Structure formats: structure tokens, C-alpha cells
Amino acid sequence: MSRELKPYKSSKLNTANFGNMTQNDYNVYLHLISKIVKVDDKGNYLKPEQLKREYHLTAKEYNQIFNCDMKNAYSFLKKACKKLMKTSVNIEKVDLKQIWEINVCSHAVYNENEGSITVMFTDSIMPYLSQVRDQFVIYNLKEVSNFKSIHSIRLYEQIQQFKDTGYFVKSLSQLRNIFAVGNKYKNYNDLKKKTFAHAVKEINKHYHIDLDFQEIKEGRKVATIKFTFNKTKIAKRYRQDGTYTNEYIKPKEKSKYPDIVLEGQLSFEEKTQNKEQVGNVASNIIQNLKIN
């Protein structure tokens, strides 16, 4: 049985600016980091320097998660290969009063014959992709596979960082950094419409999460945004020896086919109405045949 793919990263990397990455570029990046195995054969966590640096991703693997046309999958990988090599992230080290700029990859290769990419992550970024002790973010890659916007993915990742609280607050400058828009949308209403308002709608479309936001003003201007949502519940699952593990119960995904109703789910009244409709149609057909 194959291992579930789960992107795992430090919260510092979760709020980092990923520049001009498209949604497909970011999907490829997430798919690659979800391949990182962080434990040895005995279940012990590996240190950053012990982690494998090089990872391979095929168009078929990408298609299985993100369900796109295979021709597009090849194109996405090829474009992401170039983008990953050009991408660096800024990591703020508050204790040192420094901002570090770190390259994501040391090399990236597109394999024409196979339609795949091989990527080597840098030594500098690995500590933020290993089993960190401070705040971290983890979720199943499939959870973001249906989103059509990179802003939705980035906002969903913020939710996962604060899933135990049910809320988080970000300044507009922090949101601009997370969504990597800089000063692109100088007008607040444009920023809201193009990034987080749209993302909130898309996330709510796919999950029973009741995601919403509140504008907090300083004077007449909006300064910060408070996001609220249904938090992840924690249930204790006890073993026979008395020990237990925590099971995290996230808001459920909505059905992809809400309008389809099976016959067994119809009420007696609905079934009767359906029979009457079928009977009326049959009567009309017979009547027309008699006239003709």
C-alpha cells in the first residue's frame, strides 16, 4: 500500500513569499516535498542533514493527484522545472533580526523521454522541510487537489497552521506576502476580491468549514483581517495497553455530486409525482399516435 502524500513544512516556510509561482508550479512543489520521508526504518525522525535531497516526479503521478489532462501534466512539469530553479524564499529570523533569502533547488532536470522532473533541494531549505520542533503544517495533498487558485491553496495552508484554534489574524502586508502579490493590488477592495475573498468562496465550496473573515480597521482604513472557521477536532483513540493516540477530525469535504439523488433516497411523495409524470408522458404519446 502506497504512503499517503502529505506536505510537511515549518510555519516559517508556510508564510514565506513564493514569488511568481503559478498554481501548477506550487502544486508540483507541494507534490515533491510530500515525497520526503522523515523517519528511518525504526520510526526515528531523521535530522535535516540525513534527509534525501533528490526527488523524482512523473507526469502520471502528478495526474493521479491533480486529475489534469496528461498533455497538460507534461507541460506543467516542464514549466515548474524552470520556475523551481528561479525561486527563492525569504525566511525571517526574528531572534537574529535577519531575513534570509534561500534558494529552493540546487538543480532541476526535465526528462524528455519519460516526461518527468528530477529536483535536488538545497541544504538550506531542508531544515524547514524536516520534522521540526516548532510550529509546523501538515495536510493530505489530496485536500488541495480540487482548488483552481493558488490563493485558495495558500489560505488553506494558513487554516491548517491554526486548525486547533479556529481562527487567525493577518495584517494586509502579511497577506500580500503570503499571496505573493506585492503592490499589485494597491486598492484594498481589489486585493480582497482577487485574493482572499475569492479563496474563501472556493474553500467553502469544497469543505463544510464555514470559513469567513472580518475586517479590522485602524481609523477608516482596513488594517488586519480575522479569519474564522470550524476548527479541527481531536479525539483520543485508546489502545489495548491503555495508551492512546490523537485522531484529528477535520471539517468534511462536500460531495462532488450534491444534485444527484438515488432512487432509494426519494420520498413516497416524490416517487408518486415521478410516476404521474411518466404516466402523463406515455398518455400524450398514445394520444398523438391515435390522432395521426
* Residue 49 burial class via C-beta count within 10 angstroms: exposed 0-12, middle 13-18, buried 19 and up: exposed
The pTM assigned to this predicted structure is 0.83
Structurally, the chain folds into a number of domains equal to 3
Number of residues in the chain = 292
- Domain closes at, from 81, 111, 137: 137
Report yes or no: 161 and 178 within 8 Å, Cβ to Cβ: no
pLDDT over threshold 70, residue 89: yes
Confidence grade of residue 283 (pLDDT, cut at 50, 70, 90): low
Rank 86-90, 272-276, 282-286 by mean pLDDT and report only the highest. 86-90
Mean pLDDT for the chain overall: 87
- Pair (188, 114) in one structural domain: no
C-alpha cell at 245: 493516540
The domain of 268 spans 263-292
- Pair (132, 247) in one structural domain: no
Residue 266: its pLDDT value, please?
Answer: 41
- Pair (198, 168) in one structural domain: yes
Confidence grade of residue 1 (pLDDT, cut at 50, 70, 90): very low
**Interior/surface letters 129-151, b for 16+ CB within 10 angstroms, e for the rest:** bbbbeeebbebebebbbebebbb
- Domain closes at, from 137, 157, 178: 137
pLDDT over threshold 70, residue 240: yes
- Give percent of the chain above pLDDT 70: 86
- Pair (211, 192) in one structural domain: yes
- Summarised one tens digit per residue, pLDDT across range 172-228 is 999 999 999 988 999 999 999 999 999 999 999 999 999 999 999 999 999 999 999
